[in-house]
Amino acid sequence: MPEAYDRHLVPVFFRPFAADLAARAAALRPRTVLELAAGTGALTSALLTAAPTASVVASDLNEAMVAAGSALEPRASWQQADAQDLPFEDGRFDLVVCQFGVMFFPDRPAAYAQVRRVLAPRGRFLFNSWGPLATHGFAAAFQDALEETLPGRAPAFLGDVPHGYTDPALVASDLAAAGLTLGSADEVTLDGVAASAGSVATGFLTGTPVGATLEAWDDAQSIRASVTQKMTDRLGTGPVTAAMTATVYTAHDQE
Ligand SMILES: C[S@@+](CC[C@H](N)C(=O)[O-])C[C@H]1O[C@@H](n2cnc3c(N)ncnc32)[C@H](O)[C@@H]1O
């Protein structure tokens, strides 16, 4: 999954937002940074380019992501870590960053309490989360193709998880439950540019849990072919550009 994720999804979805988040992080002039849910290192690399003197620890729950990320971005120090149970001492980092990871944490107040614990006094937490499914041109087209192919049995993962934590009021309340104060919530819309709709369909079908779910079904191969064709019907053949919306949050200790 990390290889397919990095090849098909990172350049289109994650690199544009990594540049945005890295510029915001560099403006804070951090010396010690912890990245949560770093995946294959899209933000890690952008961050080390924007803030080359920062010491960056990149972490992820998934060992395979850590292995792929550490090979792709060796300037960071990589470590396997569950955001809800961080293996770092209190007050070690002046910035904690997380790109499109918080939606996956089953207990977000617990993860935010860990962020608060490892932040130094006056430290900052900077992270982003996708907007609703309809505000992501590629994910919406993929989900439509999936539902047309699998009426009544299409996996709801994309809407429920990556695009299911979209309300800034809920984010503020989860942060407050952990003793953090929401500083800002900025809606950001950027363009994703893909070589073809088919390559993005392949990314969703091989680099996300949707693909893993379908893999177990008897008719997986024909489902994949149908979804790829229907997504191409929607977005056209050849290179495709689509708008993607996220919210970028900052938070700090209540004290
Ligand atoms: C959509 S990917 C984002 C990866 C990366 N930040 C990027 O921008 O490409 C979500 C990542 O969250 C990680 N993740 C899921 N649950 C986690 C947890 N409880 N603690 C840490 N990482 C987690 C996954 O392993 C995955 O790499």
The pLDDT tens digits for 193-234 are: 999 999 999 999 998 999 989 988 889 999 999 999 999 999
Give the sign of the dihedral formed by CA 112, CA 65, CA 210, CA 139. Answer: positive
Task: Residue 9: name the closest of 221, 148, 231, 205 by CA.
Answer: 205
Instruction: Give yes or no for a contact between 110 and 180, defined as CB atoms under 8 angstroms apart.
Output: no
Question: Does ligand 1 have an atom closer than 6 angstroms to the CB of 10?
Answer: yes
- Residue owning tokens 């950001």: 188
Count helices and strands (H / E) in the chain: 11, 7
Cα 236 to middle of ligand 1, angstroms: 30
Atom of ligand 1 nearest to the CA of 84: 19
Is residue 185 scored above 80 in pLDDT?
yes
Confidence of residue 53 (pLDDT cuts 50, 70, 90): very high
Task: Residue 1: name the closest of 213, 150, 149 by CA.
Answer: 213
Instruction: Give yes or no for a contact between 135 and 244, defined as CB atoms under 8 angstroms apart.
Output: yes
Instruction: Give yes or no for a contact between 2 and 65, defined as CB atoms under 8 angstroms apart.
Output: yes
Task: Residue 7: name the closest of 175, 174, 200 by CA.
Answer: 200
Is residue 67 scored above 80 in pLDDT?
yes
pLDDT on residue 3: 86
3-state secondary structure of 178: coil
Is residue 172 scored above 80 in pLDDT?
yes
Task: Please tell me the distance from the alpha carbon of residue 215 to that of residue 207, in angstroms, as a whole number.
Answer: 12
pLDDT on residue 255: 66
User: Phi, psi (5° rounding) for residue 250?
Assistant: -120, 150
Confidence of residue 254 (pLDDT cuts 50, 70, 90): confident
Cα 233 to middle of ligand 1, angstroms: 31
Cα 190 to middle of ligand 1, angstroms: 21
Pocket test for ligand 1, best of 14, 33, 35, 61 (most atoms within 8 A of CB): 61
pLDDT on residue 78: 98
Say what the pTM is.
Answer: 0.96
Task: Please tell me the distance from the alpha carbon of residue 212 to that of residue 216, in angstroms, as a whole number.
Answer: 7
Task: Please tell me the distance from the alpha carbon of residue 15 to that of residue 22, in angstroms, as a whole number.
Answer: 10
Domains, the chain, with CATH or none: 1-131+166-191+246-255 (3.40.50.150), 133-163+196-238 (no CATH)
Is residue 1 scored above 80 in pLDDT?
no
Cα 58 to middle of ligand 1, angstroms: 11
